[in-house]
Amino acid sequence: MKIGFIGLGNMGAPMAANLVQAGHEVVGFDLAAPCPAGVTKAATAGEAATGAEVVITMLPNGAILRAVAAEVIPAMVPGAVLCDCSTVDVESARAVAEQAAKAGLGALDAPVSGGVGGATAGTLTFMVGGTAEAFATVEPLFAIMGQKAVHCGAPGAGQAAKICNNMILGVTMIATCEAFALADKLGLDRAKMFDVVSTSSGYSWTMNAYCPAPGVGPKSPADNGYKPGFAAELMLKDLRLSQQAAEAVDADTPMGQQAAALYARFVEEEGGKGMDFSAMLPRFENRSRE
């Protein structure tokens, strides 16, 4: 396929590189980041989209997505598919899909899970909203860039799945970190705590696969000074998106709301920016009960 790829940062660059390696023709554009080897550099986003069968975007937020969509949709050929892999608000995803449909294009919102490591290794999971026809067009590309793609439903469903998943993740990580900090103060050995919880009713992905305690369980960012696998500020972004969505549909999400507030304090007031989201553990270790 001829593919336009807009947004060649930490995630987009390895995704585009994997498409090139698989034999696809990729034309890329980014305001600052260089094109990876094999990707033809375009002067504008519109130029990258011209003549492409699929245009993939990986962008910071919904406002930028809307601006890029306004530029690339007029340049795309009817029947092509605009596939946004950013994590943005549901409203922006649906607005862009509607705009694309009016221009005779397919549109997918396809946020990812797996981080930079997954993007590099081609093991991302895609959560996809949009029509079945558009999904079928892009599915072979998802298979190159990732290991799983789930068609979640209509436009916006991919973003809904991503923010619901990450709301669970944020809440669960806070609970895991709180429990380790409490165990410390109760004199319970962390390894024993892990052995019990990881095989009992408290087990979770944050405990079993991404343990926030250094030297306990499988290797995780905690074992590397909390250098980010998934940065705390990105977790904050996703939690805020979940609360924006919850407010829009009048959903009661008190745990998600509290998690967003705690990560906001951690990132914006307590030095958590640039650290992994599991660095909540040393935060709780160093605090007493309020």
pLDDT tens profile 117-141: 899 999 999 999 999 999 999 999 9
Task: Tell me the per-residue pLDDT of 150-162, one tens digit each, with 9 for 90 and over.
Answer: 999 999 999 999 9
β-strand pairing of 2-6 with 124-130: unpaired
What residues have CB less than 8 Å from 175, skipping those under 6 apart?
Answer: 206
pLDDT of residue 115: 87
DSSP 231: B
Q: Which of 162, 219, 227, 237 is catalytic?
A: 162
Taking each continuous run of H as one helix and of E as one strand, the counts in the chain are: 12, 9
| Predicted confidence (pLDDT) per residue in 76-114, tens digit | 999 999 999 999 999 999 999 999 999 999 999 999 999
Backbone angles phi, psi at 83, to 5 degrees: -120, 110
What are 160-177's pLDDT values in tens digits?
999 999 999 999 999 999
Per the annotation, the verdict on 102 as an active-site residue is no
| Cα–Cα distance, 278 to 282 (Å, whole number) | 9
Structural domains in the chain, sorted by start: 2-153 (3.40.50.720), 160-286 (1.10.1040.10)
Provide, rounded to the nearest whole percent, the portion of the chain with pLDDT above 70: 100
Residues paired with residue 63 on neighbouring β-strands, in sequence order:
none
Q: Containing H/E element for 142?
A: helix 132-145
